[in-house]
Amino acid sequence: MMKLVSHIQTQEDALLCLWNEVAEFFSGAEIGEVQFLKRTSVSGIDSEHFSDADHVLDYAEVHRLVSAHKDAAFLSEADIRETAYQYYDEFLKLAYAKTCGDNDYLFWDADTVPCRYLSLFGKQDLTLLDIQTKPGEGEDAVLGRLIPGLEKKITKSFSTGHMLIRGAIMREILEKIEANDALAGDTVWEKILRATEEGMLTANGFSAYELYGNYMLEYYPQECLLREWNTFRQGGDLLELSEQTFSDLEWIGMDFDSICFERGHLVREDNKGLFTNPEYRSKLRPLHMLQAAQGEYAEKRAAERLVEPQAAIAAYREKKAFDEYRLYEAIGDERSKTNQKQAWLSYQHACYLCKDASEKQRLSEKMDALQTSVAPAAIVIVSYQSQKLIRECLESIRRTSGADEYSIIVVDNASTDGAREYLQKQNDITLVCNEKNEGFPKACNQGIEVAAPGEDIFFLNNDTRMTHNALYWLRMGLYESEDTGAAGCVGNYAGVGQIVELMLATPESYTDYAYLRNQPMQNPYADAKILCGFAMLVRRSVIDAYGGMDEAFTPGYYEDTDLSLRIRSKGYRLRICHNSFIYHAGGQSFNKRKDLDEFTDRNLLLLVNRWGTDFMER
């Protein structure tokens, strides 16, 4: 039976308590003993839980070697201690091989806690080496300097917070490093530090897990298997370590293999209670909540991006009482220094969110003081045989945006299912009724024709549901710069670059997710080559100058791609707004047509003839 070895540096009591909770996860993993390593100089050792890490490797020696490194001349004593401890943590994973005899050992970072039952061996009892997409930290060149010919074998990283290590193979690695005469130094530890490039000491470009994992792939590929691993990183930003229970970890284990509570991380005020809210848990998976809280926007990534963009916002969120409208007022105050249009939009949205009449008046005065304004967005919706969908779409607009932020134009393409009769009863829309189905592009252009002058055009499919703050953030994206010609949202059913991989049970679950996601982010905008037309906001001056949808693409498909390429060909940028998520059912009209393949193939040919086969690369 092997040992599970873990080096505890901080958060000792909370980590021990949590590790006692998760011991069951290792019940089938052939773990015979758990051994925690801790330096005696940190505090007194409890023999029941701890062994003295200095008996495995003397920290004082590592500190001496780091202090003697060329880079140390530019470091304070505090920086030297911190750097020495980082290397000491890595070196312990190697040094333990000298104490374990013929046994294997599972080295597990104490601040990374498992969230599900584990197996350590794959088919034919091959060792499982776990990998994930966390980028490497510069260790590629170090590998070759330590063991000539050794190089990084895979693009992904072995830095998953744990590694099942065969003691004999790790000792073989240490012997090869010791025998490497090209590296100066009397010990393995000195040679590793000497292999670090000058100026890179504090970057800690050495990883014991990377060294061992790549060595196994190079020399023992037949004895190991790779397994994808997914770590909930920066857990300390979102969850209180001391409050976690076994059931909490099991819930996180729906999407993640482990959770990492990094040293020094504290739960942000705006995240307190988020992951423990039973209502959110009943509707959203952990991955979706993490995407919302940290802003993960690529296929199944789970990382970090939701942060306060300006000091004013961060300062206000530290207050105990929080009214959402004040957040957008704070954004307006900040943008008033750099972007008058965005400041005006922010004050306007704050007015919508505010329920107090006197506060609304105060915000209106701020808008007037800017001496600029932005016309409402004209939301152009094409309706065809979609009474239920158009009803839900209109209700979602009214529910999530202020009436002065938009106007609604619906073009009905001769619906006979009661949609037209419903639309005729709506007093807050402009309705265009066609006597026959004119197709999607022409109907969009009819909507543009009746829009008030100056109103930006927001093409919105009738099978969408608008979500909290989505229109505001789209408008902010459009006015981020003068050369932005159009802005698009992200959604569950969208094109490349705009899709968020979600599988939720109901439309309401998606709108709940959007409520969490559609919040201030650092750098939420990304350039795009094309935008998906299901929710596309186009600057009115661009429409007036270069036209709307090309009716040659009737009845539909690729007209949005053509418009995107036309906008870019005139020197304007297309922007994706990652904090504007809109629910899209998708495929509710065209998928019913028997001639779908015929006109999509024809329209693709038209697009290629106009823009070339490389239109996506333009």
CATH code assigned at 120? 3.90.550
DSSP state for residue 405 in the 8-state scheme: G
Are 278 and 328 in a shared domain? no
422-459: pLDDT as tens digits: 999 999 999 999 999 999 999 999 999 999 999 999 99
Q: Is pLDDT at 316 greater than 50 in this prediction?
A: no
| Sign of the dihedral through C-alpha 389, 394, 395, 399 | positive
Q: What is the pLDDT of residue 459?
A: 97
499 three-class SS: strand
Which single residue is written with the structure tokens 């009591």?
A: 13
Same domain, 392 and 266: no
587 alpha carbon, distance to own chain's centre: 27
Q: How many domains does the chain have?
A: 4
Longest CA–CA span in the chain (Å) reads 89
What are the residues whose beta carbons fall under 8 Å from the beta carbon of 329, sequence distance 6 or more? 346, 347, 350, 363, 366
- pLDDT of 195 > 70? The answer is yes
Asked whether residue 299 is assigned to any structural domain, the reply reads no
pLDDT digits (tens, 9 = 90+) for 8-66: 655 455 555 555 655 666 655 556 666 667 765 444 444 555 678 888 899 999 999 98
Report the C-alpha gap between 111 and 441 in whole angstroms. Answer: 55
The answer to whether 558 touches 606, Cβ cutoff 8 Å, is yes
Same domain for 359 and 382: no
In a domain, 192, yes or no: yes
Residues recorded for the chain: 618
Q: Tell me what pLDDT residue 173 has.
A: 95
State the virtual CA torsion across 311, 313, 318, 319 in degrees, nearest 10.
130
Cα gap 576→474, rounded to integer Å: 8
How far apart (Å, rounded) are the C-alpha atoms in residues 250 and 7?
24
Instruction: Tell whether 464 and 347 lie within a shared domain.
Output: no
The predicted pLDDT at position 63 comes to 92
Indicate yes or no: pTM above 0.75: no
Cβ atoms of 447 and 406 within 8 Å: the answer is: no
With bands split at pLDDT 50, 70 and 90, how would you rate the model's confidence at 291?
low
Mean pLDDT of 546-551: 94
Is position 526 within any domain? yes
Boundary of a domain, candidates 229, 253, 273: 229
Q: Do the domain assignments include residue 38?
A: yes
Of the candidates 270, 181, 298, which has an alpha carbon nearest to the alpha carbon of residue 520? Answer: 270
| Residue at a domain's end among 323, 342, 369 | 369
CA-to-CA dists, residue 315 to 173, 306, 373, angstroms: 51, 16, 27
Smallest CA-to-CA distance from 258 within 284, 228, 294, 278 is with 228
pLDDT tens by residue, 240-280: 777 777 777 778 888 888 888 766 556 655 566 667 777 66
The 10s digit of each residue's pLDDT in 471-489 is 999 999 999 999 999 999 9
Is residue 301 assigned to a domain? no
Residues 386, 320 share a domain: no
Residue 260: closest CA among 164, 162, 165, 163: 162
**Sequence-separated (6 or more) residues with CB below 8 Å from residue 165:** 93, 96, 97, 104, 105, 106, 107, 212
Range of the domain at 277: 235-294
Kind of pairing between the strands at 535-538 and 457-460:
antiparallel
Rounded CA separation 481/488 (Å): 15
Report which DSSP code applies to 134: P
> Do residues 153 and 222 both lie within one domain?
yes
Residue 343 in tokens: 């400041």
Q: Per residue in 128-180, pLDDT tens?
A: 888 887 544 445 668 888 999 898 888 888 888 888 899 999 999 999 999 99
